[in-house]
Amino acid sequence: MNWLIETILEPSMVQTVIIISLVASIGLVLGRIKIFGVSLGITFVFFTGILAGHLNIPINKDIIDFAQNFGLVIFVYTLGLQVGPGFFSSFKKGGMQMNMLAMGVVSVGMLLMMLFYFVADVSLPNMVGILSGAVTNTPALGAAQQALVHLGMADDKAISDMGTACAVTYPLGVVGVILAIVFLRKFLDNSADSEVKVKKDTTTYIGEFQVCNPAIYDKRICDVMHLTNRHFIISRIWSDGKVSIPTSETKLQPKDHLLIISIKSDVENIKVLFGEQEKVDWNKEDIDWNRIDNSQLVSRRIIVTRDKVNGIKLGTLRLRNLYGINITRVNRAGIDLLASPNLTLQMGDKLTVVGEAASINNVGDILGNEIKRLKEPNLVAVFLGILLGMLLGALPIPIPGMSLPIRLGIAGGPIIVGILMGAFGPRFHLTTYTTQSANLMVRQLGIVTYLAGLGISSGSHFFETVFRTEGLLWIGIGFLLTLIPILIVGVLAMKLLKIDYANCIGMLCGSMANPIALNYANTTVEGDEPSVTYATVYPLSMFVRVISAQLIIMLFM
């Protein structure tokens, strides 16, 4: 047994890996426990690490620092890759308003933090740690710690105290958002009192419609499409008992039956346009489309795997005109998208194609349709992105009036490069695609490793800090930093801007990067609006919090 005791207690690379793995395993298991329906998930790894650090087991500091920082780099870079494709599009239409409100939450929190810094006896690094815990954003803490290191003002105690400040305020950071949601629902949400609640259901919907509107008789489909601002796709047309794939020049005749793909909330408008909807459920998963069509037409799913197609707009391929096929839907990461001409194709997109078998085979050759390629991740893009991210993070950026240049650091650089590669990589035929499960696994591995290392590094003085007056002050300030910005922006959004409760709470959870509160928010509404709005504001909120945390350290120290 001596070998086992020596392996666990004597500092070495092996011991460090064992301790991190043990902390991660215990934390992940405990994270599944729910209290009043709320669980901390992978965040429990952080607190398990704190407990391990409190035991003061000797451990190699250089190795634990490397594991912690490399985990952070992997997490923020793969996070950037994930949110990159939708980062810039999130500013369009209603997304701009939601993102501006989310920036309001971030800004109010930072202003309050600076106010507390000037009136309370708390150092700026510790105040940034308090804010990171209050907004449940450990990557921001990592960025701030790295900024302190770059300035040459960090010792072991300063870094540890920042982590401790984050840890003591983190639990109430989760609870505070949930309490704010309860307040907004009880006092400002009037939807429960109204008999009718109008929602825009963006779920993809397939319906059969009969042409009974004399105003569109003998008109071309391209002309009919201009009569409405709703976007839909006519997948098939039954005329005189024969099924065919329509083109923009196809003329509609009385009693023609059309199979139309749209979003669910547009069904009534489409019904008014064409005249009548048939009572047939075309949304069942077990429909045999090949039997419904005929011996000439088949329906097949084709996967985009060819590099040359990656980043190309669907309309520029002119597949319908060249091959007489119809692309009815595009499935991306489990979400069905309407196959509009302006839709930019990405590696891994699954296209539902209807047409003759020979034509579909030709389209498959153009798009790739080689499933094996998706099983082989493009690691070149991953490591090249991390390389560029680290170089960008180390780049000194001179600021007028500052004696030292600022650096984006190991958190800011990789997340910016990840977002840019995820958003624009396909346009330059750079394959950044990874399957959803692969991206999630790498992200989770990175953040769990980071949280375990952070907890171990911060745990030695955790309990003595919590039970001191200083610790209670940190907890109180952190709770105010959580609650006040959410309530101010939440009331403003619902009372003055008349934003509905579901979208408001999704925006608030996204601005705080708080998936735990989002899980609770989803239980208070029927639809998925909170999750959609959360995804809309999350990328920008995460980016701004990571960058601003280190900028505050650099500018004010």
φ/ψ bin of 401: left (φ > 0), alpha (ψ from -120 to 50), beta (otherwise): left
Asked if residue 244 is part of any domain, the answer here is: yes
Residues 348-363, mean pLDDT to the nearest whole number: 82
Q: Is the pLDDT of residue 198 over 50?
A: no
- Which DSSP string corresponds to 132-195? HHHTT-HHHHHHHHHHHHHTT---HHHHHHHHHHHHHHHHHHHHHHHHHHHHHHHHT--TTT-S
Asked if residue 298 is part of any domain, the answer here is: yes
Asked if residue 381 is part of any domain, the answer here is: no
Strand partners, 263: 204
Specify the CATH number for the domain of residue 269: 3.30.70.1450
Residue 219, domain extent: 204-373
Residues 147-160, mean pLDDT to the nearest whole number: 75
12: burial class by Cβ within 10 Å (0-12, 13-18, 19+)? middle
- Using CA atoms, how far residue 407 sits from 233, 464, 555, in Å, is 49, 34, 11
- Nearest alpha carbon to residue 445 among 534, 372, 382: 382
Asked if residue 58 is part of any domain, the answer here is: no
Q: What is the pLDDT of residue 192?
A: 47
| 72-107 residue pLDDT tens | 888 878 877 876 766 676 666 557 888 899 999 999
How many angstroms separate the CA atoms of 191 and 158, rounded?
A: 48
Helix axes 469-491, 124-134, angle to 10 degrees: 50
Amino acid at site 283: N
Contacts of 12 (CB under 8 A, 6+ apart): 60
Asked if residue 190 is part of any domain, the answer here is: no
DSSP state of 343: P
Asked if residue 316 is part of any domain, the answer here is: yes
Asked if residue 473 is part of any domain, the answer here is: no
pTM of the model: 0.63
Asked if residue 368 is part of any domain, the answer here is: yes
Counted domains in the chain = 1
Nearest 5°: the CA angle 299, 300, 301 is 140
For tokens 């590099």, the residue is: 307
| 281-338 residue pLDDT tens | 777 766 665 566 554 667 788 888 777 777 788 888 888 777 778 787 787 756 667 7
| 394-423 residue pLDDT tens | 888 776 766 667 677 777 788 788 888 877
